[in-house]
Amino acid sequence: MTRTGTILRKEFKDTLRDRRTLITMIVIPLAVIPLMIGLVTKIGQRMSEKAEAEVSKVAFVGQDNAPQLYDRLAADSLVELRTDVPVDRIDTLIRSDSLDGAVVVPSDFLSTIDADRQGQVTIYFRSSNSLNVTEERLKDALEAYDKEIVGERIRRLDLDAKLFDAVAITEHDVSSLQEVLGKTVGGFLPYMFVILCFTGAMYPGIDLGAGEKERGTLETILSSPANRLDIVLGKFVVVATIGLLSALLSMVGLYLGVRAVADIPPEFLEVIFDILNVKVAVLVGSLLLPLAAFFASLILAFSIHAKSFKEAQSLLTPLSILVIMPVAIGLMPGVELNAVTALVPVLNVSLATKEVIAGTAVPGLLAITYVSLFVLAAASLAFCVKAFNREETLFRT
């Protein structure tokens, strides 16, 4: 164990001298993440404000068929109406951004309404434009116009308004705000934690394997009194620790980033800080520990197999895509932590993290997740040791 500790201290010193490792472990979690959160929030707010302030260019076909609806839209200072657009040109003009939307009222609309029947109005819009602002403006105007017509009918026919609402619905959501936010935000956070855990472990893992081969220092450490297992364990602990620290520091960066955003409502901010408490951090960290061990042993195995730093990078790049895929699946609606998904590597961490943050984690499923992760980490470490014991792997040319 003393020899392993010596190897461990030596590798830690060498790793912490590497600028790329320090950037991925410290700078990105503590500086880039808060900046990214603030930047995304500001951009989102500015885009929304800009879209809300823009004037919607709307074609109105059939002005005489619904004068009250036309007047309602004309009174809106953020709506610019055009009455000279033929129906068959509306699609083309909206697709070319010459129009933002259109309202088409048929010639029999007023007679239909006067007969106390349902009139038909068609609205055109392009939902990918301006955050659906034009669509919302047209729908709001039509809903207000509809309520006006219905209200007039009720008064004229001396009807009880409750006749049109036979069932009164009282909504009672048993989900707490923390659960709702946890399920929403908790889907994104594992993505960040897992990716930073992998990338944090990748550079030191490549350097301690392929990097030592390239520098010619691997032979020196192999000639020391330490056996192969001591050397692998020392390198493994360093790589796993760096990966784990990168993920844990991202939590700190997330906390700092949330505190830096001034426009979050106080009640949301309170719940977010309740979510980001010590208990959650410990549970998420414990989930990331075996995952970091799995990543470290896998990265080291590829790194030891590679002949050069560049070859190791080319081998690990596709692996990073395979790491992202299970996390992306965890973001999909309907994918929940169960007895099956708890056995799937990376996906189980993503789903378990989401449950922990939401406060809905089931202890039994968490236990399955932990066991599967530690078994996988042990198996991958054994694979790494086996690869390190093969001379043809260590001294590939």
User: Which domains are assigned to the chain?
Assistant: 2-39+176-394 (no CATH), 56-164 (3.40.1710.10)
The answer to whether residue 58 scores a pLDDT higher than 90 is yes
Q: What is the pLDDT of residues 215-253, one digit of tens each?
A: 777 777 777 777 777 888 888 888 888 888 888 887 777
pLDDT of residue 227: 77
pLDDT of residue 122: 92
Nearest-angstrom CA–CA distance, 177 and 188: 17
pLDDT of residue 203: 84
pLDDT of residue 157: 83
In the structure, what pLDDT confidence band is assigned to residue 59 with cuts at 50, 70 and 90?
A: very high
Residue 183 Ramachandran class (φ > 0 left, ψ -120 to 50 alpha, else beta): alpha
pLDDT of residue 178: 62
Highest mean pLDDT among 12-16, 331-335, 359-363: 359-363
The pair phi, psi for residue 264, each rounded to 5°, is: -75, 130
In the structure, what pLDDT confidence band is assigned to residue 368 with cuts at 50, 70 and 90?
A: very high
Q: Please give the share of the chain, as a percent, with pLDDT higher than 90.
A: 11
Kindly state the average pLDDT of the residues 15-43: 70
As given in the structure block, the two tokens for residue 43 are: 């951009």
The answer to whether residue 278 scores a pLDDT higher than 80 is no
Kindly state the average pLDDT of the residues 141-169: 81
In the structure, what pLDDT confidence band is assigned to residue 337 with cuts at 50, 70 and 90?
A: confident
CA distances 203 to 52, 98, 258, 379, Å, are 45, 51, 28, 22
Would you call 122 helix, strand, or coil by DSSP?
strand
Kindly state the average pLDDT of the residues 61-87: 91
pLDDT of residue 200: 85
CA distances 377 to 281, 297, 299, 338, 367, Å, are 21, 7, 12, 21, 15
The answer to whether residue 102 scores a pLDDT higher than 60 is yes
pLDDT of residue 266: 63
The pair phi, psi for residue 339, each rounded to 5°, is: -65, -25
Would you call 81 helix, strand, or coil by DSSP?
strand
Nearest-angstrom CA–CA distance, 215 and 171: 67
Nearest-angstrom CA–CA distance, 125 and 136: 10
Higher pLDDT, 75 or 324: 75
Which range (75-84, 234-243, 375-384) has the least confidence?
375-384
pLDDT of residue 152: 87
The mean of the pLDDT values for the chain is: 80
pLDDT of residue 336: 84
Kindly state the average pLDDT of the residues 176-187: 63
Kindly state the average pLDDT of the residues 378-386: 82
Which range (238-247, 338-347, 355-364) has the least confidence?
355-364
pLDDT of residue 71: 92
pLDDT of residue 323: 82
